[in-house]
A and B are shown apart, each in its own frame.
Chain A
């Protein structure tokens, strides 16, 4: 009730101060045919910032023109070569037919691909700010926006977050065009569509939805487009903003929109019927919707032999189980069901925990939280220092705590095991730490029974989640998904695409004849 009230308030506030998408701060005016006037107006609007360059020149017998661009965003040689030189050295420009010559200039003289003709200040200025060059000619009512954008870009390097032993190593960069080109190089089919969109009143970041027509579900694309379109916020700095805004279950522990920094992973996901969202300025490309098993898959699974990949996959699930349940199980066993421990083991634990003042739950909490702090410290510090800090910290802290008798040795070991197990699945660390604490509370209150209840609650929560209408825990439901969830079947077995995800041509082509087929 209370919760609903708050949500209503938020939605109302958002609609209140959102004007229509385009900002009409006085730019929706036609340009005049006087060159001087136009330049004055643009100078007033863009202000005197030093990186705006206005260059006036004379061409033909007595034509006056001006080009306006932002230094650093444009490629100067291109401006010189493809715009200035052809115009200045061109002889046949004549004065009488004004409309013709502007079109003629656009079509024949300026040799650059992406040219737009417009007479509205807003289009011109938007283009200029996005890295294009504006050509204004005295006496003509329209100006040209020539795309000459090229700026310093980070080279394509190996992503830090997903190191891989085998398989392609190139990662996305911050520039939208490079990312789309990386994807385009991998999926060359004409059906691979990329829709562009501009969001953010202040940042104007352009976002691109990449999907394969006929493969991704039409409703999925429709809902995604709908949500992105009426997403009306000030700024989009990174793709995680988008993830927050369009996510189906903001409060759920498990992520329903996946992200990745490697083009081969994103390409594979798009080929399975998902939709990629590429945000300009962020190396992380979102793939919606994300299923539960994707959290446990790493790109390497598909490049390593099937058997080994399945073992890896099972180990990841087991590691997830250990990471979440190690500490709560320890608490439950030592405080509720001492009966289940073998006798000698129980005695050694009893000896170790004899002096410790705190009950098991508090002790566990101290250790888990201190571990989280150490892990975070390890991440935040620069690379070499971070590694040293977290290892040294853990060792000294653990040792000192045990010798001071604050924490029992077995608890330290359990927390260490749980922590290490948590490392194997990097992108589930958020759900692991939350679940671990919930399970610890349940273990202290209801012991083993509480853990069983917790386990079932997680199962139910997983099956309720349906991001974009696609069941989150699909691997239990459909045979095809089972082939690729807990274990990975060899590629030639996985004939059809994930059932719920892909809409039309479910069957993948029979690309490979299985070895036992003796028909050659």
Chain B
């Protein structure tokens, strides 16, 4: 009998102890507002930033079925402060509800602010516990605030729109999806200079966003950007293409190839004194569109088209290589490759890598095997070949 009682007055004590407690961390859903996007722009006074937070608005009236599902528009809160945290605390006083950052989808830096520096702000994003490492980072053409402000047709809240857009693009190539973690990796890596995608407002009624190339941030300062072909070159070298379209324009005709199942090998070599990087790209190619090539056999056309495709890829790679040599920053990551493969060599080369880096010669060999020409065997105006 006594054994039972002892174990039960113990349970009573546990319950008494627990009931003494209040509930500290209990925040009801209607007492918080959820930040979905953060924009940081350059402010005129030195050391200050213009912080703008995009908050998802929860509509007041009862949730009729159609209006549920996050399609409500968003509120933009703006403040000019020394740092992000002081800014959020300041804003919190103005807004009726506590600001919660853990659902933040997007961090956008204005171009002017990128020109100044972004490292301290990234630092706050890593240190804060409720900031997540998978939020995407962008540089905006104009002001970050305008990007947050626009109303996209599909999703009212622009940061949702951006994340959906990136998810869409990610199926083709991954250059544009740079998360906070990837950015931090690039910053900590001596061998590479960080690169961020650029967002630009497009469309007549300012309701569409365009991903327009990559911005280069040498020791976290904006020093230049890559246009369309240079970005493609960068993606080729970094091996971030999943499948892509190649446009081959020869005098005989125009062909669009859909390249998929792309495999990369980037191997740094040291031959005697000079450094060589050889890049190997293999891919399967499908003719998706063929124009012209009047009365030529299928073999001839394929040969010309494949030649043209290799030509095009090399041209893109060359464009981005020359850009990085011109800007004297190794955003292509050759330094890390050497650091990984030849740690000793990298030790003594590290300091003056800027002037060694331009001497690197890149040898690329590309193999494309044609696996399919789509539904029809050869185009209408081709000659019946063997």
Residues of A with Cβ closer than 8 Å to B? 1, 3-4, 7, 11, 248-251, 334-336, 338-339, 343-344, 346-356, 359-360, 403, 405, 409, 441-442, 444-447, 457, 461, 464
Contact = CB atoms under 8 A, between A and B. Distances in A.
B60 interface: yes
A277 to B, nearest CB: 21
Interface string B1-12: 110110111011
B8 A251 contact: yes
Nearest to B15: A438
Interface of B: 1-2, 4-5, 7-9, 11-12, 14, 18-19, 21-23, 25-30, 32, 34, 36, 56, 58-63, 67-70, 72, 100, 102-103, 105, 130, 160
B26 A354 contact: no
| Secondary structure call for the A interface | helix
A348 B63 CA distance: 8
User: Which of the listed residues B11, B36, B105 has the most CB atoms from chain A within 10 Å of its own CB?
Assistant: B11
B103 A348 contact: no
Contact of A446 (B11, B12, B21, B29): B21
A347 B4 contact: no
A334 B27 CA distance: 8
Given A346-B34, A355-B62, A336 B26 contact: yes
A250 B4 CA distance: 9
B59 A335 contact: no
Contacts, number: 105
A346 B102 CA distance: 12
Given A351-B63, A353-B28, A445-B18, 16 more contacts: A7-B1, A249-B4, A336-B27, A343-B103, A348-B70, A350-B29, A350-B30, A354-B30, A354-B58, A355-B60, A359-B28, A441-B19, A444-B23, A445-B21, A447-B25, A447-B26
A405 B5 CA distance: 46
A353 B34 contact: no
Given A343-B70, A352-B63, A334 B18 contact: no
User: Which of the listed residues B1, B22, B25 has the most CB atoms from chain A within 10 Å of its own CB?
Assistant: B25
A446 B23 CA distance: 7
Nearest to B155: A344
A476 B103 CA distance: 41
Contact of A335 (B19, B29, B61): B29
A334 B8 contact: no
A339 B72 CA distance: 20
Contacts of A248: 4
B29 A338 contact: yes
B58 A347 contact: yes
- Listed from nearest, the 8 A-B pairs whose CB atoms lie closest are A347-B70, A339-B102, A351-B63, A348-B68, A350-B58, A344-B70, A343-B103, A352-B63
Contacts of B1: 7, 11
Contacts of A351: 58-59, 63, 67-68, 72
Nearest to B2: A4
B1 to A, nearest CB: 7
Contact of B28 (A347, A352, A360): A360
Contacts of A405: 62
Nearest to B8: A251
16 contacts: A3-B8, A251-B4, A334-B29, A343-B34, A343-B36, A344-B69, A344-B160, A347-B69, A353-B28, A353-B30, A354-B29, A355-B61, A356-B30, A403-B62, A405-B62, A461-B11
